[in-house]
Amino acid sequence: MEYDLEFNPDRYRVETAEAEGKRLVYRAYEDLVYVKRPSAPEYQKMNIYVPEAYWEGGSIGAYDKNTAPVFFANTVGGYMPGKPEKPGNNYLGRTNTLFRALLHGYVAVSVGARGRGLTGEDGSFIGCAPACIVDLKAAVRYLKYNRDRICGSMSHIISNGTSAGGALSALLGVTGNHPDYESFLEEAGAACAEDDIFAASCYCPITNLEHGDMAYEWEFNGYDNYQRMHGIRDEKTGEKKMVPLTGIQSAEQRKMSDELKILFPAYVNGLHLKDEKGNCLKLEEDGNGSFKEYVKARVMESIQRAMEEGTDFSGFPWITVRKRKAVDVDFEQYVAYRTRMKTTPAFDEVALTTPENELFGNKTTASRHFTRFSLEHSKAGGTMAEEGQIRRMNPMNYIGDKTCDTAPYFRIRHGASDRDTSLAVSALLAAALREQGIQVDYHLPWGLPHAGDYDLPELFAWIDGICRD
């Protein structure tokens, strides 16, 4: 079956949602398949929501039906397939982001996408990289193809995502209209339109995967005790529940940690990045250097902002405060305070057991390696993903590429207590973008773990600000 990509503005329902004492009336355009030839139509679709006030000639704040920014939210987590969502409450019973975006006056778009582990009718794996980013690009093309039929400003599409979704938001922002994805878009039957966006909001992006292992060990090497939450099935009810998992790295894992840490400086130095003042960001062989000081300075900024908002740091002897100013932090003590979460290697597991291993599978192979290091240490007889597949999933490979139409604005948030990936990953992303003249709002919110959409008033204020520029 081939789907029609022409948006029908008359195919909608008027719906009402209430949350936190506020009532919202909106038009719902749902289950819109955004490619002609989807391999997984239950995922390759989107929902579009428009405040009903716009159809009555009204406005919300500074916006009307023609000027409202398009809040483009993906539902990807863990690089798994995601289905589009509806405004209302999330799984925790809290008001979700779509509702808040609509209430603020945005056209809210929730986009589904294929992901790891997804199989087709013939049993082949159809959600491996780059399926997830191809789908998001196709969804953007659908919106722009129908720009005269859909409310909102298609010149102001703001992508939003968390974790793997945050990584995809960053990737979407830097790879606008790049030919690397064209064959995949043609195969799926994407609309003939552009796929560049205006801005990218990226919460705790799990990105730069082929260098994620060495970045993780640069930060957590020597800290061998790990703790994390682990999902298990209740023997009586069969329901999944999360329980603490603690342990200590084996001698073999500690050896791999030492080896991976040594590899990171060469990667950082090869990027030839500079900070905002033009100073080179480098690392010595021991892992110290100006880049480490750069990351440390971002932590200091986090502490300072939290202190100004009322956080008491008197119980942190490794933080030096003078006259209400954070003047120093013992970085090693800070890392020890956060603790290790993942064992070595964190992403390209030698036993091929991580979500990322599955992401880099192909149609016939469920999981593959994506770093030379783990391939050489493989305990599962693993094979290597193709260079092009790996390249297409890393925004760092496209920053500065003149073939791309890069979004001019990025907002990156990485919780200062996040241990899912190294802080170095988001710091490098922010620094690389800034060096290309991209406006980047980058912050490490103190005390926050791996999470997203926790500061929506600030996010919306940022969107409003850049849309007025």
Alpha helix stretches (DSSP H) within 15-110 = 97-104
pLDDT category at 329 given cuts 50, 70, 90 is: very high
What is the C-alpha to C-alpha distance for residues 414 and 101, in angstroms, rounded to an integer? Answer: 21
Task: Domain of residue 116: give its range.
Answer: 13-208+394-415+451-468
Using DSSP's 3-state secondary structure scheme, residue 297 falls into helix
Instruction: Please check whether residue 103 lies inside any domain of the structure.
Output: yes
Predicted pLDDT of residue 468: 83
Residue 113 to residue 75: CA distance in whole angstroms: 8
CATH code of residue 46: 3.40.50.1820
Domains in the chain, number: 1
Name 288's bridge partners.
none
How confident is the model over 31-42, as a mean pLDDT?
98
- Token couple for 403: 């073939």
Count other Cβ atoms within 10 Å, centred on residue 254: 15
Residue 184 lies in a domain: yes
Confirm whether 221 is domain-assigned: no
Separation in Å, CA 455 to CA 67, 293, 298: 24, 27, 18
Q: Is 76 among the domain residues?
A: yes
Is residue 371 one of the residues assigned to a domain?
no
Q: What is the pLDDT of residues 233-274, one digit of tens each?
A: 666 666 666 778 899 999 999 999 999 999 999 999 999 999
12 Cβ neighbours under 8 A, 6+ residues apart: 27, 28, 29
424 within domain boundaries: no
| Residue 411 bridge partners (DSSP) | 201, 441
Candidates 105, 98, 33; CA nearest to 66 is: 105
Model confidence, pTM: 0.96
pLDDT in tens, 360-415: 999 999 999 999 999 999 999 999 999 999 999 999 999 999 999 999 999 999 99
DSSP labels, 215-257: HHHHHHTT--EEEEEEEEE-TTT--EEEEEEEEE--HHHHHHH
- Rounded to whole angstroms, how far apart are CA atoms 223 and 249? 9
How large is the average pLDDT for residues 1-26?
A: 92
CA–CA gap between residue 250 and residue 247 (Å, rounded): 9
Q: Is residue 128 part of a domain?
A: yes
Is residue 296 domain-resident?
no
